[in-house]
Amino acid sequence: MPDPIEVRKVPIESVTDASGLSRLIADGVIEAGRVLAVIGKTEGNGGVNDYTRILADRAFREVLTEHGHPAPESVPLVWSGGTDGILSPHATIFATTADAPASEEPRLSVGVAMSEVILPEDIGRPAMVEKVAAGVREAMKIAGIDDPRDVHYVQTKTPLLTLATITDAKSRGQDTAIEETGPSMDLSNSTTALGIAVALGEIEMPAAGQIHKDLSLYSSVASCSSGVELDRAQIVLVGNVRGIGGRYRIGHSVMKDALDADGIWEAIRDCGLPLPERPHPSDLGGRLVNVFMKCEADPSGRVRGRRNIMLDDSDVHWHRQIKAAAGGVAASVTGDPAVFVSVAAVHQGPSGGGPVAAIADLG
């Protein structure tokens, strides 16, 4: 049986601020050596050259090193760049604990794994789907989860294409699925999501021609991010296990479109918080730790029949617009703008919407 989990959300007050993690350790809330993973939002542009992810990564690893973590370089730090609109930079920290109440009810468990190296020529192709799926299955074992239905959130960080990695592939006689670095972020995310869906039995193994094209294929629990920081899939799988003990539980649902606040509320209900028929943020009672969501501009260019111009806007990329919009909807539910909202959600939830996971402290 894996150890129970302590999970806390801390603000990030500047690009290199990791004081929230340091305080949790100093106050004895968590032990540095027990930190399993960090999932957070940084304030950069969210693009290929978003240096704020690297700065946050360094700051948090330095804190782990200072407080004696035996292998800080091995801890997955999954940073999603871009806090557009009212979104606020923050980090959610997952750690095991030796001090947790016993419970036979489903309680939070976390499995962390790394895939095989993902080569630049794998991105957007079945080889990447297979490597991610194998990593997700390993993360399930580590979390002590046998039934895929007990998995509610799989956060990944995978490599995208850069000029250097495209050149590397060519030097070895290989080609890449595309040669544009910016769009490779979306392609890496979508291929990863299919790997998660395959591992959890949500879909069969897709054909090469379905990747990033057949929008009927998706995972309801995948949240995929990509960057230049690594060369393999970094996997943080979160679900529930009976008998593990602890105070926390996770649930999930999907947003059907960018305005689907009910989808967020449904994820919160699914993690065990009792809510009235028409809930309000005041009904949460401070028990919601965080919500984690993916979003995308609907490829139809419409939301609930109304036209928008996100996909035609040459001034502000649609990534930033939909992130700000969905972040506002999420914050209106939680009453807190420090929510995890990530963009590029192809194969992650229904087209134009996205998956939502919620973690609550059940006391």
109 part of the active site:
no
Is residue 353 part of an annotated ligand binding site?
yes
How much of the chain is helix, strand and coil, in % rounded to 5? 35, 25, 40
- Tokens 């294409």 label which residue? 161
Residue 234 labeled ligand binder: no
Q: Is 20 annotated as a binding residue?
A: no
Backbone torsions φ then ψ of 45, nearest 5 degrees = -85, -10
Q: Which of 22, 184, 223, 225 is catalytic?
A: 225
| Among the listed residues 186, 179, 189, 129, the one whose alpha carbon sits nearest the alpha carbon of residue 158 | 189
Give me the residues paired with residue 118 across strands. Answer: none
Contact 360, 292 (CB under 8 A): no
350 annotated to bind ligand = yes
- Radius of gyration over alpha carbons of the chain, in Å? 19
* 323 marked as part of a ligand binding site: yes
Instruction: Say if residue 349 carries a ligand binding annotation.
Output: yes
User: Is 314 marked active-site?
Assistant: no
Q: Annotated binding residue at 115?
A: no
Q: Report d(CA 293, CA 343) in Å as an integer.
A: 9
80 is in an annotated binding site: yes
Q: Is 19 annotated as a binding residue?
A: no
Q: Give dist(CA 356, CA 265) in Å, integer.
A: 9
**Is 106 annotated as ligand-binding?**
no
Q: Is 345 annotated as a binding residue?
A: yes
Contact partners, residue 239, CB within 8 Å, separation at least 6: 108, 109, 111, 140, 143, 145, 150, 151, 152, 153, 250
Q: Which residue in the list 9, 157, 184, 294 is annotated as catalytic?
A: 157
Q: CA–CA separation, 85 vs 263, rounded Å? A: 21
Instruction: State yes or no: 251 annotated in a binding site.
Output: no
| 226 in a known ligand binding site | yes
Q: Which residues are annotated as a binding site for substrate?
A: 53, 80-81, 189, 225-226, 323, 342-343
Active-site residues, by number, are 157, 225
Binding-site residues for Mg(2+): 296, 345, 348-350, 353
Residues of each annotated binding site: 53, 80-81, 189, 225-226, 296, 323, 342-343, 345, 348-350, 353
